[in-house]
């Protein structure tokens, strides 16, 4: 039996996952989390075969949360389950330590197959993203978008800013100082050649980087 921890702050999504998992006799939902803190608590208290993780949740989330999990649970398979179908987001999640990446518009059979494969120690990447990433890797003249130039921490700050969080909130969520967040913000704006949070949000919407 595959013991699954699902982490998503949307009750409707968790409800849908329960209905899908109920159709699989070899998989059970052994825990639910709605934020990064709850994820860490569950992992400290219980034993799971796979973490099905949404990238955007309150508090610590995304690449930063994956990295923190890896520090204490190096062998736990993580399958990212997200709305983001952008190759840069997928690439950062996989580099941080996720073993799989699947989008929320996938059909139930594909999701169950991904859960089984990743929990068994395999890797899984959404086919559409895999095709695009392969194309980007082999293209002689790849189009490098500005957000691809950001460091993982800068990208995390970028994601928090477009989600509506202020500098103080981001500092608290990422456990870093306000000054550090502000520095990341300045560097991010310079790399992307943007001058305001409004422009960041507009850019994110144009490139499918928002929830």
SS3 110: helix
Asked whether the beta carbons of 117 and 94 are under 8 A apart, the reply is no
- Could you tell me the pLDDT band of residue 140, with boundaries at 50, 70 and 90? very low
Question: Average per-residue pLDDT in the chain?
Answer: 89
The predicted pLDDT at position 138 comes to: 55
pLDDT digits (tens, 9 = 90+) for 147-195: 888 888 888 899 889 888 899 998 888 888 999 999 999 998 888 888 8
The predicted pLDDT at position 143 comes to: 53
Q: What span, in angstroms and rounded, lies between the C-alpha atoms of 41 and 35?
A: 10
Query: Among residues 39, 64, 82, which one has the least CA distance to residue 156?
Result: 64
- Could you tell me the pLDDT band of residue 102, with boundaries at 50, 70 and 90? very high
- Could you tell me the pLDDT band of residue 139, with boundaries at 50, 70 and 90? low
Task: Residue count of the chain, please give it.
Answer: 211
Give the predicted TM-score (pTM) of the model. Answer: 0.77
Residue 81 has pLDDT above 90, yes or no: yes
pLDDT digits (tens, 9 = 90+) for 39-67: 999 999 999 999 999 988 888 888 889 99
DSSP 129: H
CB burial of 57-94 (b: ≥16 within 10 Å; e: otherwise) equals bebbbbbbbbebbeeebeebbbbbbbbbbbbbbbbbbb
The predicted pLDDT at position 56 comes to: 84
The predicted pLDDT at position 141 comes to: 46
């Amino acid at each position: 039996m595959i013991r699954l921890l699902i982490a998503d702050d949307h009750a409707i999504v968790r409800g849908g996952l329960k209905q899908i998992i109920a159709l699989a006799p070899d998989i059970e939902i052994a825990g639910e989390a709605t934020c990064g803190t709850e994820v860490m608590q569950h992992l400290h208290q219980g034993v799971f075969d796979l973490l099905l993780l949404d990238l955007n949740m309150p508090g610590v989330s995304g690449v930063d949360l994956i990295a923190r999990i890896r520090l204490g649970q190096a062998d736990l398979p993580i399958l990212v389950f997200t709305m983001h179908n952008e190759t840069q987001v997928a690439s950062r999640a996989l580099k941080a330590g996720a073993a799989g990446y699947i989008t929320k518009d996938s059909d139930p059979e594909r999701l169950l197959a991904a859960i089984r494969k990743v929990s068994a120690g395999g890797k899984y990447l959404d086919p559409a993203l895999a095709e695009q990433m392969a194309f980007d890797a082999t293209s002689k003249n790849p189009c490098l978008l500005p957000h691809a130039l950001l460091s993982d921490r800068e990208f995390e700050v970028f994601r928090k800013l477009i989600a509506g969080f202020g500098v103080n909130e981001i500092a608290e969520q990422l456990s870093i100082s306000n000054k550090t967040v502000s520095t990341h913000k300045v560097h991010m704006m310079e790399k992307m050649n943007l001058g305001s949070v409004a422009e960041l949000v507009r850019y994110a919407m144009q490139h499918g980087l928002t929830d």
